[in-house]
Structure formats: C-alpha cells, structure tokens
Amino acid sequence: MVFTTIAGVCAMSLLDLRATNLAREHVAHSHGHHQLILATRGTTELSIEGNAERVTGSRGCLIPCAHHHEYLGDGNNRTFVLDIPVASLPDLRDASEMERLFDKPRFFGVPPELNRLADSLMQQLEQCPALHSEIAALLLRALYLHLESQPLSAHGSAYAAGRDGRLDMARLNDWIDRHLAEEIRVDCLAAQCALSVGHFHTCFRERLGMTPLAYVQQRRLDHARTLVNHSGLSLGQVAALVGFRDQGSFSRAYRRAFDVSPSRERRLSEALAQG
C-alpha cells in the first residue's frame, strides 16, 4: 500500500499485481475492479462479453470493472494479473489516463520491447514482492504510452504492409486468430496489408505455397487441435469457436488434416493424461 500524488490529489493506491500461471481450468466471472492481463509466455483463451481471443506474449487485454469474462489457461503460461480498484489512482500523469485505458474492453498487440519489459518486471516482482505497487504503476504507464503511440492498431484499423510490399505475417496471423469464429474473406486479409486482392493473393502464394483461404483453414484447425486436447469445451463449441458452421463439417476437415477424428484424439489425450 503506497500513497501517491497525482494532479494535486493524494490517493491511496491499492494496486494488486501478481505473477501467476493460469491453469487449465475454465473460470467465468465479473468483478468490481479493472483488470490488466499481460503474458510473458504461454497462451490463455479469454472471452470478454462473448468476444474471444488469446492472451499470449504478443497479445494482452484490458477488462473494465463489471464486464463478464471467461478464461482458460494452458498451464504453461507466465502471466501478469493486475487488479485496479475503480477509485484507485495509480501514478499516471493524469487520472483521466486511467479512464481512457479502461473506457471499454480491449485486446491489444504487445510489441517485443513491451514484452521484454514485462518479463523484466516479472523477475523484479518475484525478487522484491514489496515493490508490487511501484512495479504495477510502471507497467501501467508503459502500457498507456504504447497504446497512445499506436492509435491505429489499438483501435483495430488495418495494418500497413512494408514499403517493399512484403507480407507482415506476424500481424496478419494476429488478425486471423482474432477472427477465427467469423467468415474470413481474401479481400479482408488483403485490406490488413493495404494490398489489392490480386497482388495479395500472388504475394501470399509465392511466400507460403498455398492460397490465403487454405492458410486460414490450417490455422482454424491448428487452433481447434489445441482446444480439443487442452480444454473441456464440447466439440460443437470448439467447431463454432474456430469458424465451422456445424460439428459434422468440422470433424471431416479435422480428420483430413490430422488423420484422426477430433473425438478419438480427445479420448487418446484423456487416456494419456490419466496414465
């Protein structure tokens, strides 16, 4: 518990920062405080008011108070969880910055430099837990500056391609993964790279040796395989989350890709886990 002064106001900071491993356990709740989720490694499936994404080393999220959310970790993640009372004023330049950070639920991209900072701060927190409030304030400030400097990506606008027209696959993958439950068209993918559909299609095939839609299907199924093996979701729920219209079409595509049905793979996975 520390006292900070912001804009002439003395406030008690009750920031609760912890480094944790989110287990393979489905949790659904809401709470009366804001929350920041930022991972340094591993993956957590997280949904806020039905909007589902993955929290990874390159993707974090901000959850305003009272917003229902659900999550399921992979058991191998290292994750910062920061709880912020609504009345708290951490050491940002202006209390309005806190309001802007948590004005709505959002997932955001985490660049390598922010991920490295988070990893360093996590080590400091583990070594000096008494400094958790100071570390939390520094983390919030760094995040605020990052989001303010990236207005387009923070609001989900299209990503620009490099000057030489090459595809930025990391950013393209991020966009695809955030829209797996939806119909994904080639023109939508091309727009993320600021390319015409024809140019994008040609660049994509030259680089990856497959069509954009075949690549999307591959990512759908790879994501589905993780959920089949590491979640308690029904196969129908898995199918819906990765964009298949029904469980039958999902099972057929899964078998073609992996030479095993999703139901059989789940049984094998459960058998291995038990013994």
Provide, rounded to the nearest whole percent, the portion of the chain with pLDDT above 90.
32
Pair (41, 149) in one structural domain:
yes
Which residues sit opposite 51 in a β-bridge?
48
Residue 89 has pLDDT above 90, yes or no: no
How confident is the model over 167-190, as a mean pLDDT? 88
pLDDT category, 141, cuts 50, 70, 90? confident
Mean pLDDT for all residues in the chain: 81
Pick from 144, 140, 145, 138: nearest CA to 124: 138
Domain-embedded: residue 196: yes
44: part of which helix (H) or strand (E)?
Answer: strand 44-48
Count of the separate structural domains present in the chain: 2
Which residues sit opposite 73 in a β-bridge?
44
Pair (26, 136) in one structural domain:
yes
Domain-embedded: residue 163: no
pLDDT category, 264, cuts 50, 70, 90? very high
Domain-embedded: residue 83: yes
Q: Which domain holds residue 9?
A: 2-154
End-of-domain residue from the set 106, 126, 154? 154
Residue 67 has pLDDT above 70, yes or no: yes
Q: Phi and psi dihedrals of 6, rounded to 5?
A: -130, 125
Pair (178, 144) in one structural domain:
no
End-of-domain residue from the set 154, 181, 215? 154
Residue 249 has pLDDT above 60, yes or no: yes
Provide, rounded to the nearest whole percent, the portion of the chain with pLDDT above 70.
84
* pLDDT for 92: 52
Separation CA 213–CA 185 (nearest Å)? 8
Residue 227 has pLDDT above 80, yes or no: yes
How confident is the model over 224-243, as a mean pLDDT? 92
**For position 200, which CATH number holds?**
1.10.10.60
Given the DSSP bridges, would you call strands 69-73 and 9-13 parallel, antiparallel or unpaired? unpaired
Pair (144, 212) in one structural domain:
no
**For position 21, which CATH number holds?**
2.60.120.280
Residue 95 has pLDDT above 80, yes or no: no
Pair (145, 18) in one structural domain:
yes
Domain-embedded: residue 164: no
Pair (138, 32) in one structural domain:
yes
Pair (147, 187) in one structural domain:
no
* pLDDT for 166: 63
Domain-embedded: residue 159: no
Pair (81, 217) in one structural domain:
no
